[in-house]
Amino acid sequence: DRPRFPWRGLHVDPARHFMPVAAIERVLDGMAATKLNVLHWHLTDDQGFRAESRLYPRLHTLGSDGEYYTQQQMRHVVAYARARGIRVVPEFDMPGHVTAWLVGHPELAAAPGPYAIERRWGIFEPTLDPTREEVYRFLDRFVGEMAAIFTDPCLHIGGDEVKSTQWDASPAIAAFRREHGLESNEALQTHFNRRLMKILAKHGKATVG
């Protein structure tokens, strides 16, 4: 006997509406009761950066209004889920939906800051700059830090709804596209995704997006 679907997931989004650990535990208990086995934990978006980073503390201290999960709490949730037969797949959205990242690290953005946590719903313009090596060095260290906490083989990079306004307005990005034969912003995002997939693979993670 085996389940028909090996991935029986539930997505929760505390990036936009923060949920304390007790609420996450209650969700996991309900998942166990109904035989759901993958918690998709959406931890970053324009409205909040909810994961403690000790390497880059400005991510959570400036991007969360003080509502975030400590590394100890995230490890606890992973262990609590595992005890109930549930995987935890975290989502760190990029290269769009990154306003909360950029509050503390505007140097990663495709356009100059400053940035502020988004208070509305919608699809917003701030994006990472996919042409600069320092962005990938930053992501390499951050992914490595999170990979040590989240033991599941998958990590979700979001990747949806990337507005190209900042990319279109940047002469440096336009020059990069010409130099690398990238004929569209979709091709530029593919370039970013390929670089990011190599970083995730280096840290033992398969990319979900």
Per-residue pLDDT of 47-94, as tens digits, reads 999 999 999 999 999 999 999 999 999 999 999 999 999 999 999 999
DSSP class of residue 108? G
Q: Judging by DSSP bridges, how do beta strands 38-45 and 48-49 pair with one another?
A: antiparallel
| Residue 13 appears among annotated catalytic residues | no
| Residue 161 appears among annotated catalytic residues | yes
CB distance 79 to 85 below 8 Å: no
Alpha-carbon dihedral sign for residues 123, 109, 50, 119: negative
Distance CA 28, CA 21 (A): 10
What digits encode the pLDDT tens for the residues 131-178? 999 999 999 999 999 999 999 999 999 999 999 999 999 999 999 999
Q: Which of 65, 134, 161, 186 is catalytic?
A: 161
Q: Which of 42, 45, 91, 93 is catalytic?
A: 45
| Residue 45 appears among annotated catalytic residues | yes
Q: Which of 42, 97, 105, 156 is catalytic?
A: 97
Distance CA 86, CA 36 (A): 7
> What pairs with residue 207 in β-bridges?
155
The structure's pTM equals 0.95
